Structure 1
């Protein structure tokens, strides 16, 4: 079966697709995703690392200070009192008790040169979990060789 064309020059109609409503929907979805997205910043602990060669002693203050001492074998002492166990929970409990919940107190970590890195990181982790932000690590000046 053969269809005949109509006689005459009939112009074809162009198909027009209105994209305005689709663009509006895309902008609303984009706005929804931007508003509902959460941006997470990793918590960072400020650590004041004094240089060993030209370090300066801390200023004398009347404010109470906490000092965590770490021996070469990894045992902890808080303000001169040795802790029964050398783990994170014990250190956190001792820091909480000694500071009485005041995390604005300055905390000094004095670690033996042969103490493991893990012992120092555990002390820093305990301080960070309790909210201490004024953290210092002590060093000594190198001795001149004769």
Structure 2
């Protein structure tokens, strides 16, 4: 007995539908991904003569830009702008930090064009919440 084989049809893989699926997946991942935006405060420190500060393993830093906007430098080393820029908001944030680190040096990094009121407000509130080692960051003058 002679059996006949069926002729095989050529199987084609349509690439267009695969490309569409990959494009939709790519679009989904691009939209659903959250990008970390690290903010950086641009300040120009004032110059002053004096001795270099002691190095401490842990410090609390408050940055004040030229417009008087407050930013705290977190443990990750990045500055995070305060959501509430009022006196009460600054006091609330510094109170949280002071609970665990009152003996840690508190450094105020103020731009040389920062309004005096913003610096004095930060200095006053830092003292009120219990920081005892308050210093200002400056640069050595270049001649």
Question: TM-score, normalised on structure 1?
Answer: 0.57
- 1:100 matched to 2:99: yes
The count of residues paired between Structure 1 and Structure 2 equals 93
Q: CA deviation at 1:89?
A: 1.2
Q: Out of 68, 73, 76, which is 2:70 matched to? A: 76
Alignment correspondent of 1:126: 125
Q: Deviations over 1:23-59 (max 9, x none)?
A: xxxxxxxxxxxxxxxxxxxxxxxxxxxxx44322221
Distance 1:53 1:83, change over 3 A: closer
Mapping 1:18-37, distance limit 5 Å = none
- Cα separation, 2, equivalents of 1:120 and 1:85: 16
Higher Rg:
1
For residues 114-143 of structure 1, the C-alpha deviation after alignment (integer angstroms, 9 at most, x for no partner) is 000000001011111102110001111222
Cα contact 2:98–2:129 (8 A) shared by 1: no
What is the CA deviation profile of residues 69-95 of structure 1, one whole-angstrom value per residue up to 9, with x for unaligned ones?
A: 000000001111111132211111111
Give the alignment's Cα RMSD to 1 decimal: 1.9
Distance 2:99 2:138 in 1: 27
Inter-partner Cα distance in structure 1 for 2:101 and 2:88: 18
Secondary structure of the 2:95 match is helix
Secondary structure of the residue that 2:128 maps to in structure 1? helix
Q: CA deviation at 1:99?
A: 3.5
SS at match of 1:98: helix
